[in-house]
Chains A and B, each alone.
Chain A
Amino acid sequence: MARQIGEVILDLQNVSLSFGGVNALIDISFDVREHEVRAIIGPNGAGKSSMLNVINGVYRPQAGEIILRGEHFRQMNPYKAASAGIARTFQNIALFKGMSVLDNIMTGRSLKMKANIFQQAFRTGVAKREELEHRAKVEEIIDFLEIQHIRKTPVGRLPYGLQKRVDLARALAMEPQILLLDEPMAGMNIEEKQDMSRFILDVNDQMGTTIVLIEHDMGVVMDISDRVVVLDYGKKIGDGSPDEVRGNPEVISAYLGASH
């Protein structure tokens, strides 16, 4: 299936966020089109994670608007964002440590589970059938991300690279329309990075999921993204295709330091 980049699905307008006196984001606007891979880059402390946290409602911006499929929000909250089809992974992996890989991924199905607490407690047909259906879906995702061999392992015992993959799997279990990835390749070796890039592209291509990602590795970003937005000290300093951004003098000076 050829990937067709569509209309604007998520539009951020004049978003500002501050903590006490620190301005984390200053008047930032950019949009995300359906089915595209949109990267947010910038030096440390540029406000990339804050941006993602605003989109999924962990942070509440003081000014600006979030327009999701034409619907205007002053601010989101994580539950509302999840219900609206936005999934995310975390920079410092936020998996449920005591639980197995399978259970972690199953929690991603929470919104789709309909059986009530009594049906679950007494294991009625409805609850059992539902559990099996969702289990089947989760197994598909496990196959897709090639983590069959670890599905019963408690996630706390997995190496870092695999935990990142489970984090992605849990987000995918939500069957999101928009997937926010916060440094999906941080701390990985080259091989793991290649695997992760492949998975991200496959998700985008085969499931049609729109992807917004933060990444430090420039090579990877330029390879896999359709458009890139560049932040520096909470301001947007560049926006466009990887090539445009690469040639932008402001971006170059932010990364390499300007010559005065």
Chain B
Amino acid sequence: MGFFLEVLIGGLMTGMLYSLVALGFVLIFKASGVFNFAQGAMVLFAALAMARFSEWIPGWLGIANPVVANILAFIIAAFIMFLVAWLIERLVLRHLVNQEGATLLMATLGIAYFIDGLGQTVFGSDIYKIDVGMPKEPVMVLQDVFAGGLLINKEDFIAALVAALLVAALALFFQKTSTGRALRAVADDHQAAQSIGIPLNRIWVIVWTVAGIVALVAGIIWGSKMGVQFSLVTVALRALPVVILGGLTSVPGAIIGGLIIGVGEKMSEVYLGPLVGGGIEIWFAYMLALVFLLFRPQGLFGEKIIDRV
């Protein structure tokens, strides 16, 4: 029982991180109907900015305190993500209003490669580390309840907590503020939103900035786990099955989809792995996504696609 719970909790925590990346996809898809292929590139770009500035700032400003340096680096990286969002809207999206989904998808594909290249040109292409002081050592909890207690990875726990808080804050922002209301309106119907005076351009900059900051947080968390390197881009690929499962248009879907995939991966690896020779973790999520595509293409919480004939 203790072991089962350990696997479950481990899965939930990983799942929360998937959710965070998936959330970036959902935000942009909801507000602009674009499947943003560049989300992974944004994660890498943001993580690179964070890693390099936290490294440079102590030298430039003579700040020895790593916490202050990290905070400054975070603010700068967030501002850079705002600039990226602003430029994407200015140079790309604005000119593609009311175009086919496939056109927009191709555009984001282009953006993805551009950002990949730009990030490595500006910030370098080595492996960098982000050290935001996450505790690395695991802890034992609930020793009185289970024999041997539960072994929990503190770093994963804090990361999951941060992700959950961010998701909650965003959900509140969307529900409770007038900008959130405008975002939901744009997501529902561009034309109607514009006709009542909601500025589409500004909304897009806001959404891409928010997605950029989500990418930054995801980049920091994944980056501090496995180093900031090109393979961070693939984190977004891991989130792909999550959005298929949860539905591209649903914020709660992104969260629950992430948790299901996180838990599913770990469980299948531990319990089914030995039977088929292991390595299930790598393809389990995609397999699940495929099943969903066949039987429930709109995902668990997505809007049902009804075509009027």
A107 touches B182 (CB 8 A): yes
Give 1 or 0 for each of A31-71: 1 = CB within 8 Å of chain B CB. Answer: 00000000000000000000000001010000000000000
A97 to B182, CA, bound (A): 13
Give the residues in chain A near B188, CB-CB below 8 Å.
Answer: 96-99
Q: Which residue from A94, A106, A134, A174 sits with its C-beta under 8 Å from B197?
A: A174
Cβ of B193 within 8 Å of any chain A Cβ, yes or no, is: yes
Give 1 or 0 for each of B180-208: 1 = CB within 8 Å of chain A CB. Answer: 11101100110111111111100000100
> How many whole Å from A64's CB to the nearest CB in chain B?
21
Give 1 or 0 for each of A70-84: 1 = CB within 8 Å of chain B CB. Answer: 000000011101110
A82 touches B195 (CB 8 A): yes
Cβ of A1 within 8 Å of any chain B Cβ, yes or no, is: no
Cβ of B271 within 8 Å of any chain A Cβ, yes or no, is: no
Binds B, one of A113-121, A144-152, A212-220, A242-250: A113-121
A83 to B202, CA, bound (A): 15
> How many whole Å from A134's CB to the nearest CB in chain B?
8
B177 touches A120 (CB 8 A): yes
Q: Which residue from B173, B189, B194 sits with its C-beta under 8 Å from A96?
A: B189
A111 touches B189 (CB 8 A): no
Give the residues in chain A near B176, CB-CB below 8 Å.
Answer: 123
Cβ of B231 within 8 Å of any chain A Cβ, yes or no, is: no
Q: Which residue from A58, A83, A97, A107 sits with its C-beta under 8 Å from B193?
A: A107
Known interface pairs A90-B192, A107-B193; A99-B177 also in contact (CB < 8 Å): no
> How many whole Å from B74's CB to the nearest CB in chain A?
17
A81 to B193, CA, bound (A): 12
A97 to B197, CA, bound (A): 18
Give 1 or 0 for each of A96-134: 1 = CB within 8 Å of chain B CB. Answer: 111100010011111101010100110100010011001
B192 touches A95 (CB 8 A): yes
A79 touches B191 (CB 8 A): no
A82 touches B194 (CB 8 A): yes
Give the residues in chain A near B65, CB-CB below 8 Å.
Answer: none
Known interface pairs A78-B195, A79-B194; A107-B185 also in contact (CB < 8 Å): yes
Instruction: List, sorted by A's number, 13 A–B pairs whose CB atoms are closer than 8 Å.
Output: A79-B200, A83-B197, A94-B189, A95-B189, A96-B192, A98-B188, A99-B188, A103-B184, A109-B178, A117-B206, A123-B176, A127-B178, A134-B178
Given contacts A98-B188, A127-B177, 19 further A-B contacts (CB under 8 A): A79-B198, A82-B197, A87-B196, A90-B195, A94-B191, A96-B184, A96-B192, A99-B184, A106-B181, A107-B185, A107-B193, A107-B196, A108-B196, A110-B196, A110-B198, A117-B177, A131-B178, A170-B196, A173-B196
